[in-house]
């Protein structure tokens, strides 16, 4: 994978028939659905079948499982993700025929033309913050469009084309996609080294965020006041002001423009007082974790910059019920010694693991916190194995499986065993189960009543929780009994 550079854009209606490769992916599916809602002819495929691909088919989008050059018969534009290899048969055919080939980021940016765009970037928290802004703006009656990396739990949708001016997007920094977007309000949740396989060094990664914040369309930057990386950038932005660009900070820092006070986190709820523009507001969330109060504060600031009433934004924050794979309830099992609760979370960076487990710790009622982690990417595992181990030590018991390689080829000596060894060294009981198909049976042996089990990772670890619950005869969330 290489860093992307922005390309000239045209509105979607001028692209002709658009074909999406890897359409079943969490990021690509939302863009494909948004094009379909705009009335653009859409088709797509993915290497394997998935519920997402089938759902797009049910929406009327022509879809295939597997790749075949014949899929391009009536296509004018092909959209690819960073996961598509250069030798993909459809990509090769598109180039041979001279079709327009766009990266997903360009396809998304084209949707944003002519809108008041809020782009949410950051190493962590961007999915939830984007979702909160979309929900707040919807409750405020602004009829926003949005494209998010994970479906909203309330609707099951990750994208929507509204009739209003706001367009809210999750801005991916991993491959430089966020530099493509015509952003009016840039939200930066934090900056902590990641995706070094692409950026090379932590300093180059941070420089990417600075370039994003200083792009020509940006009128305001909303940025975390407590994260060191974000604050370094905020200081540089203030030292080199641009005409008309505003910097608004948020967090617990006394100097924050949107300040959190009187923080209370209990079980699956969180609340705080929010000071902004000389007023104190009451912020109440029905999603767990201290970190979500920060996300909500940033979302509130973005909403105010869009001109939306504070009271409506706060109602929207209270109405937000989360995203799929973000502290998502999977199910529960009544065991002889109490009820086992199972959750799933997309966390795949040490800081995200710490945030997820810290929130989960507050929801444990009399049992243990059990973490089942699947490392994502060989490069990230090699870089952060020790940090992953220390983060998992926030649980009472850790189960680690092998690396989900995604777009990467294996690296010699890099396996999930590195993380398991680091967790064990950090003082937590740890079990390494290399074969993920054995996880349900191993977890069934280890868990007890009153435990809270959380599966963690950006790969297919999400399948394990439901399999375990069914194996133990429990209730899977969303099923009927």
Please check if 462 is assigned to a binding site. no
The answer to whether 118 touches 169, Cβ cutoff 8 Å, is: yes
Q: What angle separates helix 126-139 from helix 310-319, to the nearest 10 degrees?
A: 120
Alpha carbon distance 167, 163 (integer Å): 10
**∠ CA 415-416-422, rounded to 5°:** 115
Catalytic residue, candidates 126, 352, 401, 415: 126
Q: Is 415 a catalytic residue?
A: no
Please check if 246 is assigned to a binding site. no
CB atoms within 10 A of CB 59: 13
Give the pLDDT confidence score for residue 154 in this predicted structure. Answer: 83
The residues spanned by each domain of the chain are 12-102, 114-319, 328-476
Give the pLDDT confidence score for residue 478 in this predicted structure. Answer: 62
Catalytic residue, candidates 127, 138, 183, 455: 127
Percentage of residues in the chain having pLDDT higher than 90: 71
Give the pLDDT confidence score for residue 480 in this predicted structure. Answer: 44
Q: How far apart are the first and last CA of the chain?
A: 45
255-311: pLDDT as tens digits: 999 999 999 988 778 999 999 999 999 999 988 878 899 999 999 999 999 999 999
Please check if 122 is assigned to a binding site. yes
Please check if 163 is assigned to a binding site. no
Alpha carbon distance 326, 322 (integer Å): 7
Q: What 8-state DSSP symbol labels residue 38?
A: T
- Domain range 328-476, CATH class: alpha beta
Q: Which of 120, 161, 113 is nearest to 138 (CA)?
A: 161
Give the pLDDT confidence score for residue 212 in this predicted structure. Answer: 95
Give the pLDDT confidence score for residue 26 in this predicted structure. Answer: 75
The answer to whether 42 touches 36, Cβ cutoff 8 Å, is: yes
Give the pLDDT confidence score for residue 244 in this predicted structure. Answer: 67
Give the pLDDT confidence score for residue 197 in this predicted structure. Answer: 76
Distance set, CA 372 to CA 180, 347, 353, 396, 443 (Å): 36, 11, 11, 11, 9
Category of 179 on φ-ψ map: left (φ > 0), alpha (ψ -120 to 50) or beta: alpha
Q: Which of 223, 282, 302 is nearest to 255 (CA)?
A: 223
CB atoms within 10 A of CB 340: 25
Q: What 8-state DSSP symbol labels residue 152?
A: B
Catalytic residue, candidates 170, 192, 352, 408: 170
Which CATH number is correct for 114-319, 3.40.1190.10, 3.40.50.300, 3.30.470.10, 3.40.30.10? 3.40.1190.10
Q: How far is residue 12 CA from its own chain's centroid?
A: 25
Alpha carbon distance 323, 316 (integer Å): 15
- Domain range 12-102, CATH class: alpha beta
79-130: pLDDT as tens digits: 998 778 889 999 999 999 999 999 999 999 999 999 999 999 999 889 999 9
Q: Is 127 a catalytic residue?
A: yes
Task: Indicate the helix (H) or strand (E) that contains 192.
Answer: none
Q: What 8-state DSSP symbol labels residue 181?
A: S
Please check if 126 is assigned to a binding site. yes
The answer to whether 218 touches 184, Cβ cutoff 8 Å, is: yes
Please check if 130 is assigned to a binding site. no
Q: Is 170 a catalytic residue?
A: yes
Please check if 128 is assigned to a binding site. yes
**Residues with pLDDT less than 70, the chain:** 1, 241-244, 478-481
């Amino acid at each position: 994978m290489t860093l992307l550079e922005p390309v000239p854009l045209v509105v979607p209606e001028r692209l002709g028939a658009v074909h999406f490769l890897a359409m079943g992916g969490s990021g690509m599916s939302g863009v494909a659905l948004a094009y379909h809602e705009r009335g653009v002819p859409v088709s797509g495929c993915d290497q394997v079948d998935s519920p997402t691909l089938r759902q797009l088919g049910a929406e009327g989008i022509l879809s295939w499982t597997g790749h075949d050059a014949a899929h391009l018969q009536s296509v004018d534009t092909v959209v690819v993700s960073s996961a598509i290899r250069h030798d993909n048969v459809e990509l090769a055919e598109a180039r041979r025929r001279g079709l327009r080939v766009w990266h997903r980021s360009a396809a998304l940016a084209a949707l944003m033309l002519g809108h008041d765009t809020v782009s949410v970037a950051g190493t962590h928290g961007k999915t939830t913050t984007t979702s909160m802004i979309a929900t707040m703006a919807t409750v405020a009656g602004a009829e926003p469009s949005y494209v998010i990396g994970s479906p909203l739990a309330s609707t099951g949708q990750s994208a929507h084309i509204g009739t209003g001016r706001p367009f809210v997007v999750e801005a991916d920094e991993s491959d430089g996609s966020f530099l493509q977007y015509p952003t009016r309000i840039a939200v930066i949740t934090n900056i902590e080294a990641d995706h070094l396989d692409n950026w090379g060094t932590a300093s180059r990664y941070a420089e990417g965020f600075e370039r994003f914040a200083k792009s020509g369309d940006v009128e305001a930057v909303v940025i975390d006041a407590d994260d060191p990386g974000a604050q370094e950038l905020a200081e540089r932005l203030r030292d080199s002001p641009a005409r008309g660009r505003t910097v608004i900070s948020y967090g617990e820092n006394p100097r924050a423009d949107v300040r959190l006070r009187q923080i209370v986190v209990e079980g699956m709820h969180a609340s705080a007082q929010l000071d902004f523009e000389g007023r104190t507001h009451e912020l109440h969330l029905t999603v767990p974790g201290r970190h979500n109060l920060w996300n909500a504060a940033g979302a509130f600031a973005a909403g105010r910059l869009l001109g939306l009433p504070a009271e409506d934004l706060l109602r929207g924050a209270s109405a937000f019920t989360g995203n799929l794979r973000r502290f998502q309830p999977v199910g529960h099992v009544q065991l002889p010694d109490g009820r086992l609760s199972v959750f799933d979370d997309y966390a795949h960076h040490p800081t995200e693991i710490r945030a997820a487990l810290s929130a989960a710790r507050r929801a444990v009622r009399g049992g243990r916190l059990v973490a089942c982690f699947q490392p994502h990417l060989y490069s990230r595992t090699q870089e952060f194995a020790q940090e992953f181990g220390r983060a998992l030590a926030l649980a009472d018991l850790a189960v680690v499986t092998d690396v989900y390689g995604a777009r990467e080829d294996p690296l010699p000596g890099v396996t999930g065993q590195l993380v398991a060894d680091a967790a064990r060294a950090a003082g937590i009981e740890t079990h390494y189960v290399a074969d993920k198909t054995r996880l349900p049976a191993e977890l069934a042996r280890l868990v007890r009543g009153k435990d809270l089990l959380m599966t963690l990772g950006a790969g297919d670890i999400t399948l394990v929780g439901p399999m375990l619950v069914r194996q133990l005869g429990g209730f899977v969330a969303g099923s009927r009994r």
